[in-house]
A and B are shown apart, each in its own frame.
Chain A
């Protein structure tokens, strides 16, 4: 299995409790030259509106979109998973699903991470940030099994340490660092070729 030699196409970020502040900080710190697609999955109420997208867009000049079914995945853009759906990643585009919540969550971070690992393999970076449950751990393990990269916010710096701590237990070889170091690290990763429509 090839690893990072071809670079990364896709950065997936999962968070729940305390997520808004870290997502704001994250998108603000991302460089405009970013050559990957960034997908943000945050747990939120099923009837949330577009406020999260709007707040994030205020922090960056990179375009921020709330995901719609079959929307194309393009580098240099930030995508926000919509509430009350699971976001699945296919080669080159998104698909949504209203399958039952997974361990009380829809969107489920695990579902997005799994599908990305299966569509993009070693070109995937999974990031787990602050949160009060253990969603994302299983998906992060899948990303690493597929040759992708696992990054976790240092639980000591997280507003709610449960989620990053669970991710580290599931993926002991994950790189653990404070948020801003983590963003700089993502920005320094080699980008892959633009995502293409697959088979």
Chain B
């Protein structure tokens, strides 16, 4: 006798139905496949966002569902590269949130002046816009020559772009406005050379930046830092993974080292709130105190 195929799994009371539950299974299987075959671990990423990106990739590949995307990326490394870009790239800008950089100048720079040598970790640097912004700021404060910025990202393709230090010329107007509002003290155009449709910031500004691949989910700490800068990266992780990464950051900061988060991120929802004190009323700047 044939066994009828029906849905037995509960829908957890939200009335979401068959389609949503099936999709969740497909997504979990795909992320498991990506992890076991390629070693990239997206299994603890925030679900709503990863789902959105997977559906966009499915559509862009002309496929009907996540299972078809799963099959393709397992057998086609080019398709996997594209998916990796979709899953790991954060859209950013030079001096994103100008008020943050203004506050960094006011609250953090005086602390950094007390160190003979400064190590900064920029975790999840993407294509490098904010790394070069920090280099500009440190240059203007006279600290750049004793600073090394370790800029890391999970994705080697974006790091290659970041190393080039070339950003789109058509965004320089926006970046110049940001720079001025961030408290810049010179003329922004001093920092780059226009070339075709790009603005070249390297090699002068990249002289003290080390770009390298690092995976916040699976890799360990690689030094002790005076500042860790990780803005709008943890928002893509679920709460459990956020806590694991906060542990990594805590272990990687010197005592009284500074943790900088994105303007809508907070230590409030992590287990590490009591290990830090806020050093700004308006921006997400914290100092390790325990």
Contacts and interface: CB of A to CB of B under 8 A. Distances in A.
Q: Which of B17, B24, B52 has the most CB of A within 10 A?
A: B52
Nearest to B56: A99
B92 A198 contact: no
Contact of A2 (B15, B235, B236, B264): B15
Contacts of B90: 98
Interface in B230-266: 232, 234-236, 239, 242, 262-266
B265 A99 contact: no
Given A97-B236, A121-B20, A90 B47 contact: yes
A119 B52 contact: no
Interface in B14-61: 14-17, 20, 24, 46-49, 51-53
A90 B235 CA distance: 12
A111 B52 contact: yes
| Highest count of chain A CB atoms <10 Å: which of B91, B235, B262 | B235
Contacts of A47: 97-99, 181
Contacts of B99: 47
Contacts of A193: 13
Contacts of A1: 15, 17
Interface in A77-120: 82, 84-85, 88-91, 93, 95-100, 111, 114-115, 118-120
**Max chain A C-beta neighbours (<10 A), residue from B97, B99, B264:** B264
A89 B234 CA distance: 16
Contact of A123 (B14, B20, B265, B268): B14
Given A68-B268, A121-B17, A123-B14, 9 more contacts: A1-B15, A68-B269, A70-B242, A70-B266, A90-B47, A98-B90, A98-B92, A114-B52, A147-B15
Interface of A: 1-3, 6, 47, 66-71, 82, 84-85, 88-91, 93, 95-100, 111, 114-115, 118-123, 146-147, 193, 198-199
